[in-house]
Chains A and B, each alone.
Chain A
Amino acid sequence: MNKRPIGTLSLMRRIFMRDITVAWRRRSDVMSVFFFFIIATSLFPLGLGADPQLLHTIAPSVLWVCALLSCMLSLPRMFEADYVDGTLEQLIISNQPTLLIALMKILAHWVLSGLPLVLIAPLIGLQFSLTNNELQVLAVSLLLGTPILSLIGSIGAALTLGLRGGGVLIALLVLPLYIPVLVFGAGAVNAISIGMSADGGLSLLGAMLALALIFAPLTASYALKVAVE
């Protein structure tokens, strides 16, 4: 049979595109997380009443906590389907390192669950009467922070594969690790709103992203190997 070899990059692209294709054919899964974020953030102005000052004060934390929760909602799906139908086995014994495969799946997860939040958050920020400057910092902090959520979350998702009640366990494993991201993400927006520089928080988020990028795929790939064994 006449077949052509493909390189590492081509395989990485195929893994990423496959996840996107599968998600596109099951749009409701992705959309439900997205709408959860919109609805959860919109509940606060409704519940707290029309006090612009109060809303403005709590906006960064509300938006960040909701981003955290909606990211966590989609975590169980990161490896679950592949685990159930046997694709994960084939991914692990493919001729490429599991580390790179895990990285591509994390990237796909972020594009499907983190990136939409980055794009919609400034719009939602408007109903909390955030200023232009604050909206920009909010978007940047989410842009740096949501990939960390996907990266750290991948460890929890891989560790809880095949366990009963895995969803709750993921929350217990992952939420404590999300705390620094929340503190510095919301902190950066808070800093700009009281007239300080957001650089500190954003730089720390960047540093955490770099660190997570190195360690999370590695840890997740080991956990995946244990899960299929």
Chain B
Amino acid sequence: MVSTPLNNSLSVNNLGCIRGERVLFKNLSFQLNSGRLLYIQGENGSGKTTLLRTLCGLSIPAIGQLSWNNQDIKSLAEDYYGQVLYIGHLASIKDDLTAMENIQFSLSLSGYTADHSQIIGALETLGVGRCAHLPTRVLSQGQKRRIALAQLWLQDTPEHTPLWVLDEPFTALDNNMINILTQHIEKYVNNGGMVIFTSHQLPSFNVSLIENLQLGDA
């Protein structure tokens, strides 16, 4: 099978966001292409989460344009949302459903379905394979976090899901898990994926892949 290299681009032009009376950031412009990793830094309250939510279409920017492959994301709407995988602070996990049911449902919101064995495989990579059929209310915060992150293993083909937007993906994870996740993100980016993430500590990514964006005064 001959695979053509992916050539997607997300460009942000003169973006500004306001929360209440406060201007979080303005005149923000950058472009991100396939195979690149964008690391957004900033103090607490500098607008990192707002920027990520704006990038995946949840918040509407006060000013500026966002375009995916040179088309405005507002006009693309669902066609754009289907390409983005967003993992935010909230795990979007229902306590009354099992890990398996939660993952199947999240996956179907992205428009896919997977076999149980694949989901078990992803959960085992994350060290929570035993929890697959337990209701998630009995799991710990870290375990719930891992179940939310399982989407990264199930939607890791850049041809189908070319952009990951991750808000603090490393919180509540132990060192071993941080390494596994770092390697997985690198592999996805090397395959032509695009990742935008925030984090308070910079994990050891291959420097040639990464671009930095500093929000706030610093």
Contacts and interface: CB of A to CB of B under 8 A. Distances in A.
Given A1-B157, A93-B58, A228-B58, A85 B94 contact: yes
Given A1-B153, A87-B92, A6 B101 contact: no
A91 interface: yes
B154 A3 contact: yes
A81 interface: yes
A6 B96 contact: no
Contacts of A229: 53, 58-60
B137 to A, nearest CB: 10
A81 B94 contact: yes
B97 A93 contact: no
Contacts of A6: 108, 111-113
Given A1-B156, A229-B60, A94 B109 contact: yes
A52 interface: no
B51 interface: no
The size class of the interface chain B forms with chain A is 35 or more
Contacts of B86: 89-90, 93
Contacts of A94: 78, 81-82, 109-111
Contacts of A86: 88-92
A84 B153 CA distance: 25
Contacts of B157: 1
B36 to A, nearest CB: 22
A93 B84 contact: yes
Contacts of A4: 112-114
Given A2-B118, A81-B94, A228-B58, A96 B78 contact: yes
B68 interface: no
Interface in B92-122: 92-97, 101, 104-115, 118, 122
A229 B50 CA distance: 9
Interface in A1-52: 1-6, 10-11, 14, 18, 21-22, 25-26
Given A6-B112, A95-B111, A89 B58 contact: yes
B118 A21 contact: no
A90 B109 contact: yes
Contacts of B111: 5-6, 11, 94-96
B156 A93 contact: no
A18 B135 CA distance: 14
Interface string B147-182: 000000111110010000000000000000000000
A94 B59 CA distance: 14
Given A4-B113, A93-B57, A93-B81, A11 B108 contact: yes
Interface in A85-112: 85-87, 89-97
Interface in A53-96: 81, 84-87, 89-96
B10 interface: no
Contacts of A97: 78
Taking each of A87, A89, A95, A97, which has the highest tally of chain B beta carbons within 10 Å of its own beta carbon?
A95
A223 B109 CA distance: 20
A93 B56 contact: yes
B116 to A, nearest CB: 12
Given A1-B118, A2-B118, A3-B154, A95 B78 contact: yes
Interface in B40-59: 53, 56-59
A6 B114 CA distance: 10
Interface of B: 53, 56-60, 78-79, 81-82, 84, 86, 88-97, 101, 104-115, 118, 122, 135, 153-157, 160
Given A6-B111, A89-B90, A229-B59, 12 more contacts: A1-B122, A1-B153, A3-B112, A3-B154, A6-B108, A22-B96, A84-B90, A85-B95, A92-B58, A93-B86, A95-B110, A229-B60
10 contacts: A1-B122, A3-B112, A3-B114, A4-B113, A10-B108, A11-B111, A18-B97, A90-B106, A93-B86, A95-B78
